Chains A and B, each alone.
Chain A
């Protein structure tokens, strides 16, 4: 089947590659979907596989190629370490499978572009795990910006702080650049995608600084200035060595000619300038909490956004909607900006 959209199945047969923390969560979410038959799991850890085989009743594989060759899948969810994404996704696309892959798509914009082009050509649903795009407060921020509620955007700032690496640690994948470790490919990718989602991508990066604090091989903090086509400026600032943060806190502040939005997963604050009331937002300060902005999900695990993104993937497969977002193409945009940050950091060094 090399041309035409892959036909929409009645029941979507799904397989998982990589049964780590995120993989298992995706499994639980997809497995509880009424239109999904979760048939197979691939991982390298024997005891995880024997547990899933015995108690969850799925076929298990140690080789992802074998799983995709024999499990008669419609779609795969890939949650393996980032350096393996390219080969894994390419194999899946070769089989005309719909693909959901954890973020970031790859560690190289060239590889991300190649996968994006291949997915478009194969006409399969392709999605990257930018879960923040499914959080109600951020969705509302995007809607407000795109509807012109705050006028023309002049400045924005994306920050992500948390306590992941707060002392010198043994070597895990997080501390190795070659395995996709480092704050830029973790916090950085998420906040950059979110900024792209809300205001669109920048065209240039300057003043980037990748800074190690506790880690030897990777950066623990990122700073960069982003330049947008309309002349506006953005700042990215992340630090995963901030012990004062109880949990990862991602915040976006967008300044416009008519007002300002500050938003995190819990709250959206909108200040509208005098005479700039918008819909039921009045001039002055408006605060909307997540309880009001969050859409209910059919099954909940650790945050509505995780269920919402998997359900959106399944819906796109069932409706043969290959224009679905966040696509590989969007992920490529983000990976490209990550690369510009790395180049800007090196140019200065």
Chain B
């Protein structure tokens, strides 16, 4: 069983993902328009002892991974927890050229290797084959990088959950282990329902990354259902979105998640050395370590 890192960086802020305001989002885009600024944050975090980062499969993450791969001694023990697929690039492509062309465009090695494996028509008859094709394409940029947990990102997880196509979860879980020796993780905004669904396809004690905060924001099913799941079910949770607004102080926000034993990892959105150090010190204090 994979041991999860207690504190994880997040790449949301590097790419301007910010639920609070458009202005903050724009500021972040300017701050991180250069990859050097992102690498600086990783270096600062590494120096403080942080050893993991949740990341999308954004094209720019490929460059960051290449840098980490080129200097392995500098990042010894540092792991990436990728979340896939990155929705924007597929959505933009499907809108422009349609779903079949998109599959061709993004499959590993482009059309040629796809044709070797099977015709597009045959592949689309089998959603499992299609999933594997896309997973392989997404994992390519993480070749030679430590990825102990690979997440299905929340739009896909929650879509599959709503469509009740639970067998896909099981297949993703199995494939990640068999092909990449990685543990499958699931990002969700619907933790209680997801844990139930995973159990039906035999995924026990799953790794789930969910928005968890004391206000109940983006915790579908409700705060009480989340607390019941965290208390009664076998699940290893990584909490994100711990500070949904400025109304919640860091002491209160991190205090809430540190009070739940099943929350093994916490995603922090801090991007400066001083902020990362402050959050780290706070979590260590709350953990009593």
Bound form: Cα–Cα A170–B16 in Å: 29
CB distance from A123 to the nearest CB of B (A): 30
B220 and A296 form a contact (CB under 8 A): yes
A348 part of interface (Cβ distance < 8 Å): no
CB distance from A24 to the nearest CB of B (A): 7
Bound form: Cα–Cα A292–B215 in Å: 9
B185 part of interface (Cβ distance < 8 Å): no
Chain A: interface residue total (CB-CB under 8 A)? 40
Pick the residue among B29, B125, B168, B189 that contacts A50 (CB under 8 A).
Answer: B125
* Smallest Cβ-Cβ distance to A164: which chain B residue: B95
A296 and B222 form a contact (CB under 8 A): yes
A266 and B22 form a contact (CB under 8 A): yes
A300 and B189 form a contact (CB under 8 A): yes
B21 and A267 form a contact (CB under 8 A): yes
> Residues of A contacting B167 with CB < 8 Å?
55
B162 part of interface (Cβ distance < 8 Å): yes
B168 and A290 form a contact (CB under 8 A): no
Answer whether A28 and B168 are a contact pair too, CB < 8 Å, given A267-B21, A289-B20, A299-B190: no
Q: Which of A266-307 contact B (CB under 8 A)?
A: 266-267, 289-292, 294, 296-302, 307
0 or 1 for each of B191-234: is its CB under 8 Å from A? (1 = yes)? 00100000000000000000000011111111000000000000
Bound form: Cα–Cα A239–B99 in Å: 26
> Residues of A contacting B19 with CB < 8 Å?
266, 290-291
* Smallest Cβ-Cβ distance to B247: which chain A residue: A292
CB distance from A30 to the nearest CB of B (A): 8
A124 part of interface (Cβ distance < 8 Å): no
A249 part of interface (Cβ distance < 8 Å): yes
B163 and A296 form a contact (CB under 8 A): no
> Residues of A contacting B121 with CB < 8 Å?
47
A170 and B97 form a contact (CB under 8 A): yes
Bound form: Cα–Cα A21–B156 in Å: 12
A28 and B158 form a contact (CB under 8 A): yes
B164 part of interface (Cβ distance < 8 Å): yes
> Residues of B contacting A294 with CB < 8 Å?
217
A183 part of interface (Cβ distance < 8 Å): no
B contact residues, range: 35 or more
Q: How many A-B residue pairs have CB under 8 A?
A: 98
A301 and B155 form a contact (CB under 8 A): yes
Answer whether A56 and B163 are a contact pair too, CB < 8 Å, given A246-B16, A300-B220: yes
> Residues of B contacting A31 with CB < 8 Å?
162-164
> Residues of A contacting B216 with CB < 8 Å?
296
Answer whether A299 and B193 are a contact pair too, CB < 8 Å, given A47-B125, A169-B96, A294-B217: yes
Pick the residue among A25, A27, A170, A297 that contacts B96 (CB under 8 A).
Answer: A170
A203 part of interface (Cβ distance < 8 Å): no
B48 part of interface (Cβ distance < 8 Å): no
A29 part of interface (Cβ distance < 8 Å): yes
Q: Which of B124-155 contact A (CB under 8 A)?
A: 124-125, 127, 155
B245 part of interface (Cβ distance < 8 Å): yes
> Residues of A contacting B165 with CB < 8 Å?
55-56
A114 part of interface (Cβ distance < 8 Å): no
Bound form: Cα–Cα A174–B96 in Å: 9
CB distance from B169 to the nearest CB of A (A): 11
Bound form: Cα–Cα A246–B190 in Å: 26
0 or 1 for each of B157-178: is its CB under 8 Å from A? (1 = yes)? 0110111110110000000000
* Smallest Cβ-Cβ distance to B241: which chain A residue: A291
CB distance from B174 to the nearest CB of A (A): 16
A319 part of interface (Cβ distance < 8 Å): no
Answer whether A298 and B220 are a contact pair too, CB < 8 Å, given A28-B158, A266-B20, A292-B247: yes
Pick the residue among A56, A172, A290 that contacts B164 (CB under 8 A).
Answer: A56
CB distance from A262 to the nearest CB of B (A): 11
A291 and B164 form a contact (CB under 8 A): no
A291 and B221 form a contact (CB under 8 A): no
> Residues of B contacting A302 with CB < 8 Å?
155
> Residues of A contacting B16 with CB < 8 Å?
246
> Residues of B contacting A307 with CB < 8 Å?
220
A264 part of interface (Cβ distance < 8 Å): yes
A51 part of interface (Cβ distance < 8 Å): yes
B22 and A291 form a contact (CB under 8 A): no
A291 and B163 form a contact (CB under 8 A): no
* Smallest Cβ-Cβ distance to A50: which chain B residue: B125
B108 part of interface (Cβ distance < 8 Å): no
A-B contact pairs, 14 of them (CB 8 A): A24-B163, A31-B162, A32-B164, A45-B99, A249-B22, A266-B21, A266-B22, A290-B19, A296-B219, A298-B220, A299-B161, A300-B158, A300-B220, A301-B159
- Please report A residues at the B interface, Cβ cutoff 8 Å: 21, 24-25, 27-29, 31-32, 45, 47, 50-52, 54-57, 164, 169-170, 172, 174, 246, 249, 264, 266-267, 289-292, 294, 296-302, 307
| 6 shortest interchain CB distances as A-B pairs | A28-B162, A300-B189, A291-B245, A47-B124, A300-B220, A55-B165
